[in-house]
Each structure stands twice: as C-alpha cells, then as structure tokens.
Homo-oligomer: A and B are copies of this chain.
Amino acid sequence: MAKKFADLRAQMSPESRARAESRAQAMLAEMPLNELRQARGLSQKMLAEVLHIQQPAIAKIEKRTDMYISTLRSHIEAMGGELDVVARFPDGTVKITNFADLGGNATA
C-alpha cells in the first residue's frame, strides 16, 4: 500500500506536492477523514484508485461514524499513513496490538 501511495505522489505535480505538504504542516491535531484526505492533497477519486474501489464507496466511508478497524486501516494506509489504536488512561497510554497483523482489507 505504501508503495502505491508513493506512485500516486510521484504522479502529482511539484506544485500539488508542495501544496499538500504545506497543508500537512498546518494540519490540526484532530479532524474527520474527509478533511484529512483534503489535507493530504488527495481527491476521493485518487483514494478510490489506490483502494481499487469506486469513488462513491470512499464518500460512504467518509460519512460513517462506525466501521471495522480493518476498513479504517486500509483507508488510512491508502493516504500514506499508519493507523494506531490507542487506549488512554489517567496514568498512561497503551497501543492496542490485537489489530497489528491485519492485512490491507478494502471491504467496507
């Protein structure tokens, strides 16, 4: 998936890349999936291509308030990121590893 993202990025013009990078720098710490995609300089169409699904499926995922962790992981990996699932407690933070071995799974 990371390789495919690199291919996608290579196809972007230097201007688009610079724009995406400056937007990434300015990224807020918290946002929904559609804003994150835009901040990465990606269209729904580009994401759909990476995931080998149709564009409406991307739109549908971005509107969801619940989904399988594997679906979210594929979605974030298609944007060139890594998913971390974290449990926060008053006395510490733990990364949950149950889902670490999931392969890319593009089904919604």
Measured CB to CB, the residues of A under 8 A from B are 21, 24-25, 27-33, 36, 39-40, 62, 64-70, 72, 76, 79-99, 101-102, 105
Contact = CB atoms under 8 A, between A and B. Distances in A.
A57 B65 CA distance: 23
B88 A36 contact: no
* Oligomer copy total: 2
Contact of A36 (B76, B96, B99): B96
Given A83-B86, A101-B65, A72 B91 contact: no
A82 to B, nearest CB: 4
B84 A86 contact: yes
28 contacts: A24-B91, A25-B92, A29-B94, A30-B94, A30-B95, A30-B96, A32-B97, A33-B98, A36-B87, A36-B94, A62-B98, A64-B98, A65-B101, A66-B69, A66-B102, A66-B105, A67-B68, A69-B72, A72-B96, A76-B87, A81-B87, A82-B87, A83-B85, A83-B86, A83-B88, A84-B84, A84-B88, A85-B86
